[in-house]
Amino acid sequence: MSQCLSAMYLAVVMLLSAGLVGCQRAPSELVIYSSRNEQLIKPMFDRYTAETGQAIRFVTDDAGPLIERLAAEGQNSPADLLITVDAGDLWHAAERGLLRSLESPTLEANIPERLRDPAGRWFGLSVRARTIVHSTQRVKPEELSSYEALSEEKWRGRLCLRTSKSVYNQSLVAMMIAAHGEQQTEQIVKGWVANLATEPFANDTRLMEAIIAGQCDVGIVNTYYFGRLQRDEGDIPLKLFWAQLADGGVHVNISGAGITTSAPRAAEAQKFLEWLSEPEAQAMFAGANLEYPASPAVKADPRVVSWGTFRASELNVAKAGELQAAAVRLMDRAGYR
Ligand code: FE
């Protein structure tokens, strides 16, 4: 009898605790999935928590796996916010119905239109310029003009590129399709391939090291990699050149964010996103990686300012997503590996 009672007691306790777990309210913390790396993003979370008391939990991974994870988790996803380092990735997440439209006068005032989704599902938080870098010893700035001109014969055996697998190059070529059309872009990319000094590199830093080593004279990089090299190595025989797309501007991409469709704490997530668009957070977000603040009201880091000013392409960065698949096929046809 007593055995039976204790068994019943145990069952009741188990039922109760199961019930308690089931009824437990969602924790108040914000959950963020980020492909921007921890070292750059955690200081932002820490600052926000210190200012507001809002706890933040985060997961970092590449955008692809994070987007798949969001899709697989569906309505049960704990994630409130997705942060990526490429407009194309945000575009894909939005296309798959994983991000919700926001109405936010704050975000609309702080973030220029071309750096956010026309439907309000994602917003750029920093600008990443992808432009020409050249040897100061073997190239004069007067010899340079556009991304397109790097396909000219005078650069035969003198060009270094990062691999076409990089989403940065996929977005660049997508924007070139938007600017030049597919046919002309294919000719340009074929010209680049013909001009390559060596196999494409795994990253922008290796590319710049190859220019310094004399393996090639010119390449295309995100400016913050140039900034890191300059910061770490001091005086390097390299310089940035503000390249032009067909519309006259430099190709820019974004690191940005959107609130998930299934966000359990959408209102809190929106507050955080709006906070990220305000001056102090903008300076910190961009400054940590030597990028440009998305908000035109905020000054870049002094090192970034020292590279001079440029005009950015007017094309909306959403084009990077819309035309990314076409860009990948085009680079494949052109033999760009
Ligand atoms: Fe990067």
Cα of 20 from ligand 1 centre, angstroms: 45
Cα of 69 from ligand 1 centre, angstroms: 22
Cα of 253 from ligand 1 centre, angstroms: 11
Cα of 37 from ligand 1 centre, angstroms: 9
Cα of 130 from ligand 1 centre, angstroms: 10
Cα of 18 from ligand 1 centre, angstroms: 45
Residue 236 CA to residue 243 CA, distance in Å, equals 20
pLDDT at site 248: 79
Cα of 14 from ligand 1 centre, angstroms: 50
Cα of 26 from ligand 1 centre, angstroms: 34
Domains and CATH numbers, the chain: 29-127+253-301 (3.40.190.10), 129-251+317-333 (3.40.190.10)
Q: How far is CA 116 from CA 1, 110, 131, 186, in A?
A: 69, 11, 21, 27
Cα of 128 from ligand 1 centre, angstroms: 9
Cα of 25 from ligand 1 centre, angstroms: 38
pLDDT at site 229: 98
| Residues in Cβ contact with 66 at an 8 Å cutoff, skipping those fewer than 6 apart | 33, 34, 35, 59, 82, 84
Cα of 199 from ligand 1 centre, angstroms: 20
Tokens of 157: 């055996």
pLDDT at site 138: 98
Residue whose pair of structure tokens reads 């005078």 in the numeric block: 154
Cα of 244 from ligand 1 centre, angstroms: 21
Cα of 134 from ligand 1 centre, angstroms: 19
Length of the chain: 337
Residue whose pair of structure tokens reads 């399709």 in the numeric block: 177
pLDDT (tens, 9 = 90+) of the chain, 337 residues, equals 344 444 444 444 444 443 333 334 346 999 999 999 999 999 999 999 999 999 999 999 999 999 999 999 999 999 999 999 999 999 999 999 999 999 999 999 999 999 999 999 999 999 999 999 999 999 999 999 999 999 999 999 999 999 999 999 999 999 999 999 999 999 999 999 999 999 999 999 999 999 999 999 999 999 999 999 999 999 999 999 999 998 779 999 999 999 999 999 999 999 999 999 999 999 999 999 999 999 999 999 999 999 999 999 999 999 999 999 999 999 999 999 9
pLDDT at site 94: 98
Cα of 182 from ligand 1 centre, angstroms: 26
Cα of 194 from ligand 1 centre, angstroms: 26
**Phi and psi at residue 268, to the nearest 5°:** -65, -40
Cα of 149 from ligand 1 centre, angstroms: 24
Cα of 238 from ligand 1 centre, angstroms: 19
Cα of 75 from ligand 1 centre, angstroms: 31
